[in-house]
Structure 1
Amino acid sequence: MNSIEFALFALVAFLGYKIISTWRDRARLIKLRGPPSPGWFYGLSKDLFQGDAAEFFEKWFNEYGYAFQVAGPLGERRTVLFDPKAIGYFFSKETYSFTQSGFQRKAIEAIIGKGLLYAEGESHRRQRRALTPAFSVAALRNLTPVFYDSAYKVKSAWDVLIHSSPSNEAIIDVQKWMNSVSLDSVGIAGFGHDFGSLEDRKSTVRSLFDSVGTTPHSSSGARRGLSLLLPLLSPVLPILLMVPTKRKKVIGRLHESMADISNVLLDRSRKEREAGLQDVKGSAGQTLIGALLKAENSDSSLTMTPDEVLSQMKVLILAGYETTSISLTWALIELALHPDKQDKLREELSEFSQSDPSYDQLTNALPYLDCVTREILRLHPPLGQISRVAAKDEVVPFSNPINLPNDPQASSLPIARGAQIIIPVRAIQRSTVIWGPDAKEFRPERWAKGEEGLPETVKLFGGYHHLLTFVDGQRICLGRGFALAEFKSVLSVLVRNFVFEMRDGPDTKIEDIVTILRRPKVVGEEGFALPMKVRRYES
């Protein structure tokens, strides 16, 4: 048997094993109502991948209730939860009873290694505790000037573009700049490293991030079918992650580039510490790199291995770049489409014409900025859904009755080990049943009375102000304070100094493109371009 024959035999054997195990797990799974499957091979995964998954999930929620099942590829069935009590229980048991699938962990490891996003159980708890001091309120107060510095670099660059324009405005790809401001901010604030992307300095990491956004899942021509097959079947057949596509090569180079930069920064910081220039027990211990060095040299239960330390740096680079840049881009889109709300936010910020809001003012003294922030996080969560696998048999409690085969008013759902669970975050946060008839509208005013103004159905959910954007429980985003401080700092500078309009008017069509997460783009533009009309604000 030659090598090609052996590889084919191994693939067929593995495929057979997966099919048998899928049917075995399906036999143990309690069957719930759900939409009919269009076919065994892809199930409904193709529809969800190519269309608006949140719309599909909400439609099925309205039809089948607070728990239903959807067909995945190769006969797999996935259980979707909408019930707040069930979701709260799910998050309380995450990393132990509900864990990432083998596919998810392999995909995470391929980009950022075995850090916090990869870890489960006690390993996750240990790494999280070691990193917590870097995200304290005191640390965030010290970092806020870094965010302002990046925002003013954007302002200076845009002033030049507008000044050189024959009119009083310029067409600017705002997403490109939000990517740059996020990358530079996380580099300086986290590690004291300036990627220089706001100054158009050549950065391998930045160019590779951009490449991920413009590289399809597969090449064209005869292999075009892989652009669907790989993302849809890889969760069931992780071996497909080994297929050498152009996108895989770009992601591999991104992993290597982030590792190279992280190693240089760690080596520099280790030498500074050894020379007595850095005290990791003092203020430096409140920076991310200080917390990492402290954990690396700790004899306590919080010790991290060198590989874990390296992975944490890549986690922050990726998470800090991708999520915040997406949220800032969506904020500019919504404000451009709603000029009255843009004006209202600018009016609130007008008192800071001579100085910038402090961290405490950003957090507590600008209510409409806070309303806009929460509304963006509600409508446009960077992570649209969360998927986990039951690591053991569980019984999930519900606050709303669910229809089981032997009990149409059941108050709990038995979950078998190996079952796939989906929490459709974006669908939940845009559901008219949960949020009311204006759920899909950008209306920051819904937060004006704090939580008192929210529907009672919303208050049943946990998370950050009853939002699941930062998830909840043991995996609630450790860097959420960092992300919020950066988001508010940058947005406050841009709205005080510029007016935003969509280049093609209020009817501009926006669609999603998959980079590492889903990003907005103007329909018809290359990559993830988002051109806007930007002009100076004249008070």
Structure 2
Amino acid sequence: MALDIVIMASCLLVFATTALLWSFIGHHDDKYILLDNVPGPRSHSFWTGNLGQFLSRHGLDFHREISQDYGPIVKVHGPFGRRLLYVYDPDALYAMLVKDEANFEEGAVYFCSSLISKSGNRLIFGPVTNILSSSGEQHRRQRKLLGPAFSMNRIRELYPIFCNTINRARRTLVSEVASGQHELDMFHWMNRITLEIVGQAALGYSFDPLEVNEADDEYGKAFKHLIPLMQEFFILRPLLPYITALGPAWFRRKLVEMIPIPTVQRLKDVTDVLERKSIEIYQSKLHALAQGDDAMLQQIGEGKDIISVLIRENLRADASDRISEDEVYAQMSMVMVAGADTSAVTVTHLLQLLSEHKGIQQDLRQELLTAMEETEFSYDDLSKLPLLDAVIKETLRLHPPITLLTREVLADTVLPLSTPIHGIDGRTMSSIPVPEGTEIIVGILGFNTDKTRWGEDAHEWKPERWLSPLPREVIDAQNPCVYATIMSFLGGKRSCSGLKFAELSMKVTLSMLLSTFIFEPTGKPITWNIALANYPTTGPESDHAELPLKMGLVGPL
């Protein structure tokens, strides 16, 4: 029996590989020649095209160069010579993400990440997809139920949880600095803090007491290992859509268990922990709901956390609008990964920038301390601090945690361009015909730093640009953005549901840290690397994610 499974698995893997190659060969069809008039770089490799440059940990320079050298729509290459488009033109993105969004599905072949692709989600978060990767009626039901959980009133109720969590971390950091520990790894601390914030506010679960020694929590460790493991999984991503279609779930599980690759086995172990703990938390919340309000108040988050709200809304919904338990588990993992990584990366990057711009750091601290003297500093007060708002928007604009996403064209279409381009044949093109099956890379970084709209200083960190009216080119452009005319929270119907949650997390964290600590650079070179969520290292060759900063106390609390 075991030998039969091995033989069957080998045959199916050969089938998957053959299907993959056939799909790539199919993209040399005459209809794809339409894309050849769009300027772009040469293929870097027959095997990976330009994807290795896009997804290399050192690929940020390539992202910047391709937009500067070729403009808002670029032909690039995938594996085996397949043609792709890299797009950040506002009109084209509006058509893709808003006007004709049903014709542009998540990319199915290349970017099977835990945040973007349907196939990656299917392997990592179970056979049922979450709100970021579902489509059609399933996506509508999931978004309808998650909407109330992320409403402004619900986020407002979570404000005390955010404050209490960050206060615990602040007390620990004060003791560390006061005892003479003046250099701390802020990427490590921001990951701990944001994971605990999202754990309590989203799941009603505590991962970490935020003391000096990190808690040995199995669930927390699984989340921290997930993104690095997915990054290591890159070489197998092109096969994922085909592997996920191979036989029933039990067979795919057997297939995964037999693959003699350490990364695959570690990823399997991590996803097993995520699934098991998600089920435990879900069942405990169902039990508490059945016991009534008093039981909910005894839980972490007092029943106000995102998943508790989702479960209540799901139980109240009409049968046609309900989602399955498996779908709820998928939302739990999605909320944790998306929420924790985005906030941790952005706040870490912002602390680095403030350490390098001492004047802005001091001005922001003064804004915060003045506000804290005059009021108890409520949820509403955070929205009235213009410089705090500006530094967050500018950091998200220039350094989005995720640099791209993908879409696949379901039917032949034409993409309009707000800025005409010159084709390779010299003709001016105000629109681009795009055939069915074309993979499109949505250039989040390219859109956010487009010099034709933001000006020649588009690649500079200048929070003051948000303290006065933005350029007309930015304001007047038709775009799919849901936040501050930038794409950092994506756009259209598939934009980030947790936008306000992430924004509140960042604002509360910064307000409490900057009112207590002074941050300075250590002098060590910091390199930011591309991954499923970008991360810093001390120098370009280091494999250890960290961002050390010198810290001092502002004064007594």
Shared fold (TM-score, shorter chain, > 0.5): yes
CA root-mean-square deviation: 3.0
Please give the secondary structure, in 1, of the residue aligned with 2:545. Answer: coil
Q: Which of 52, 57, 61 is matched with 1:55 structurally?
A: 61
| Matching residue within 65, 70, 74 for 2:80 | 74
The equivalent residue for 1:152 is: 167
How many angstroms apart in 2 are the aligned matches of 1:176 and 1:51? 19
1:294 Cα deviation from its structure 2 partner: 2.4
Of 288-297 and 336-345, the range deviating more from structure 2: 288-297
Q: One-letter code of the match for 1:259? A: E
Q: Output aligned runs, 1:90-239, within 5 Å.
A: 90-92=96-98, 96-102=102-108, 103=112, 104-113=117-126, 114-165=129-180, 170-199=182-211, 200-212=214-226, 229-230=235-236, 233-234=238-239
Q: Secondary structure at the match of 1:469?
A: strand
State the secondary structure of the residue aligned to 1:159: helix
| Aligned counterpart, 1:223 | none
Name the CA shift for 1:26/1:360 in 2 (closer, same or farther; >3 Å).
farther
Q: Distance in 1 between matches of 2:239 and 2:430?
A: 34
The residue type equivalent to 2:385 in the other structure is L
Shift of 1:10: 4.8
What does residue 357 of structure 2 align with? Answer: 338
Within 5 Å, give how 1:440-451 maps onto structure 2: 440-449=459-468
The worse-fitting range, judged by mean Cα deviation, of 202-211 and 300-309 is 202-211
Q: Distance in 1 between matches of 2:322 and 2:10?
A: 44
What residue number does 1:224 align with? none
Which amino acid in structure 1 is aligned with residue 198 of structure 2? V
From the superposition, tell whether residues 58 and 326 of structure 1 become closer, same or farther in structure 2 (CA, over 3 Å).
Answer: closer
Report the Cα offset of residue 23 of structure 1.
2.7
- Structure 1 stretches of 5 or more lacking a match? 219-226
Q: Distance in 1 between matches of 2:227 and 2:283?
A: 31
Counterpart in 1 of 2:267? 251
C-alpha contact (below 8 Å) 2:229/2:267 kept by paired residues: no
Instruction: Identify unmatched segments of 5+ residues in structure 2.
Output: 247-254, 297-301
Cα gap change, 1:409 to 1:334, in 2 (>3 Å): same
| CA offset digits 1:300-320 (Å, max 9, x no partner) | 432111111121111111111
Q: Distance in 2 between matches of 1:51 and 1:181?
A: 25
Are 1:270 and 2:290 counterparts? no
State which of 369, 374, 377 in structure 2 corresponds to 1:357: 377
| Counterpart for residue 24 of structure 1 | 26
Q: Would the aligned equivalents of 1:81 and 1:422 in 2 still touch at CA under 8 Å?
A: yes
Structure 2 match to 1:222: none
What amino acid is aligned across from residue 172 of structure 2 in structure 1?
Answer: A
- Change in CA separation of 1:3 and 1:266 when aligned onto 2, cut-off 3 Å: closer
Cα distance 1:260–1:18, how it changes in 2: closer, same or farther (>3 A)? closer
Q: Deviations 1:144-165 (Å, cap 9, x if unpaired)?
A: 1111111111110111111221
Q: Is the 8 A contact 1:69 1:79 kept in 2?
A: yes
Aligned residue identity for 1:72:
G
2:510 corresponding residue in structure 1: 491
The alignment partner of 1:471 has SS state of: strand
Match of 1:401 among 420, 429, 432: 420
User: What is the CA distance between 1:424 and its match in structure 2?
Assistant: 1.0
Is the 2:474–2:485 contact (alpha carbons within 8 Å) kept by the matching residues of 1? no
Counterpart Cα distance in 1 of 2:93 and 2:80: 27
Is 1:85 matched with 2:91? yes
Q: Distance in 2 between matches of 1:526 and 1:41?
A: 25
Deviations 1:203-241 (A, max 9, x none): 1132234445666966xxxxxxxx87445x557876799
- For 1:264 and 1:396, the matched residues in 2 are separated by 47
Stretch deviating more after TM superposition (354-363 or 209-218): 209-218
State the SS of the aligned residue for 1:172: strand
3-state secondary structure, aligned to 1:470: strand
Kindly provide the CA deviation profile for residues 88-111 of structure 1, in whole angstroms up to 9, marking residues without a partner as x: 111115762111233422211222
Conserved? CA contact 2:200–2:305, under 8 Å: no
